[in-house]
Structure 1
Amino acid sequence: MSDDHKTDPPEQQEASLFEAPPMAEQERMVEAILFATAGPVSISEMMGRMPHGCEPAQALTNLRKRYEGRGVQVVRVGDAWAIRTAPDLGFLMQKETIETRKLSRAAIETLAIVAYHQPVTRAEIEEIRGVSVSRGTVDQLIEMEWIRLGRRRMTPGRPVTFVVTETFLDHFGLESARDLPGVKELRSAGLLDNRPPPGASSDDEKDDSQPPLFEDD
């Protein structure tokens, strides 16, 4: 029998079944996952869907470079990834993405405190606001998936903390809470009145780096 008709040993054939596909194919897989999933997808989730041996982190890096300057971009949202419209083209999607969110003044204040002071307990929220926080206010923000329960504090009573969610970050196009918007961005999103709180100075309005301050209800 000639060498041309020889087959690989069984152990080599078995090993080949576990070889990861080429990186170009892995990029296509990651691209398909991101397009097919409405919400951000973590690297661990991608690894669970892709063949053994794949490197979704490297595929994401390559894919992100490929989409630079395009109409859509590969963006990081917290610990996950998503494909989103390029920021400068967001106006094209305005009619499709407008969503009315009616929040009470208490809910707006609570959301702002959680966003800028997380992780924060209910008692700390009440201390900052100066008034008590109703369960309905917190439940509303949790139902909207803008805040969630964080780790318990290692203090007497072990109170739970609250942090913002990836849904909140995705809504504002943020990679992490460190990139939180200032006063102008919050107003443009409809989360702040267009008028300054009573007694606010013009200097307060100019400082977008500081978290918004609110009057009590």
Structure 2
Amino acid sequence: MAGSNAAKAVRGRRPKSKDEILFDRELEDLPPELRWREWMLRVEAVIFSATEPVSREILARVVGKSCSIDLLIDDLREELRSRPYDIVAVAGGWQHRSRSAYASAIRASQAPTRSAPAYLSEHEAAVLAAIAYLQPVTRSELSTMFGKEISRDTIASLRDAGFLGSGPRSPTPGAPYTYVTTKHFLSAFGLETLRDLPDLERLEDDGLLSRQALVREELAKEGADGDEQDQL
């Protein structure tokens, strides 16, 4: 029985590609200092060539099992200290980013960049910010907050730009869909996690952004509409 289970486990494994078999991650033939240097160069090459932030799991494929990726990144960033770009932590991974001090020079050059930011209207930016802070949030809750209807077109535009995804169903009556931000949102705005959003705690403490308050207002409005229909 045990032999049968082992055979099934072997059959269920993904066969290694030729590149994986030939690729030497451990570099045991190199002295420690050269091994570390080679791992640094591999990690930088992967991050440099990637179009999206590179996760820890991806980087682990090109270095030894005992290698500390965090220490490698620290050493790489130290070497780049005098350069106009850096390796930054965004969206759960790492990415090469030019330093903000050179943003005006890059804009003035009008050179095409790897990831041109999507243009957002003032209204779209405000809706996206509200979703980022209140997520998961429904379109109805957003409309309550803004005091006017948030159109499906606005939500669709933010989704098409890759900033929004579908969240869980809301527990409010009718169980409408909610909206949440994506990893692309984090990457586009240079955030590692949503905890890096500015002044989130202060906004909540001041009561300027409160999902619970929006839900209470929405339920109260629906209750008032129901009472009016009962009277009719």
Indicate whether the TM-score tops 0.5. Answer: yes
1:67-116 deviation digits (Å, cap 9, x = unpaired): 22421101011211101111111222112368585545653332121123
Which structure has more helix as a fraction of its residues? 2
> What is the TM-score when the length of structure 2 is the normalising length?
0.58
Residues 109 and 129, structure 1, Cα contact 8 Å, conserved in 2:
no
Match of 1:63 among 73, 76, 88: 76
Match of 1:23 in 2: 36
Match of 1:50 among 62, 69, 73: 62
Residues 26 and 55, structure 1, Cα contact 8 Å, conserved in 2:
no
Residues 43 and 57, structure 1, Cα contact 8 Å, conserved in 2:
no
Give aligned pairs, total: 167
For residue 136 of structure 1, report the CA deviation from its aligned partner.
2.1
Distance change in 2, residues 1:164/1:68 (3 Å): farther
Identity of aligned residues (%): 32
Residues 42 and 79, structure 1, Cα contact 8 Å, conserved in 2:
yes
Match of 1:149 among 166, 191, 198: 166
SS at match of 1:81: strand
Match of 1:12 in 2: none
For residue 179 of structure 1, report the CA deviation from its aligned partner.
3.7
Q: What is the root-mean-square deviation of aligned Cα atoms in Å?
A: 3.2
* Residue type at the aligned position of 2:181: V
Distance change in 2, residues 1:159/1:97 (3 Å): farther
Residues 30-109 of structure 1 aligned to structure 2 (within 5 Å):
30-47=43-60, 49-50=61-62, 53=65, 54-94=67-107, 95-96=110-111, 101-104=118-121, 106-109=123-126
For residue 27 of structure 1, report the CA deviation from its aligned partner.
1.2
Residues 25 and 62, structure 2, Cα contact 8 Å, conserved in 1:
no
Q: List gaps (5 residues or longer) in structure 2.
A: 1-22, 28-34, 200-207, 210-232
Distance change in 2, residues 1:19/1:172 (3 Å): closer
Residues 72 and 84, structure 1, Cα contact 8 Å, conserved in 2:
yes
- Is 1:113 the counterpart of 2:101? The answer is no
* Residue type at the aligned position of 1:72: Y
* Residue type at the aligned position of 2:142: I
SS at match of 1:82: strand
SS at match of 1:149: strand
Match of 1:5 in 2: none
Match of 1:167 among 181, 184, 187: 184
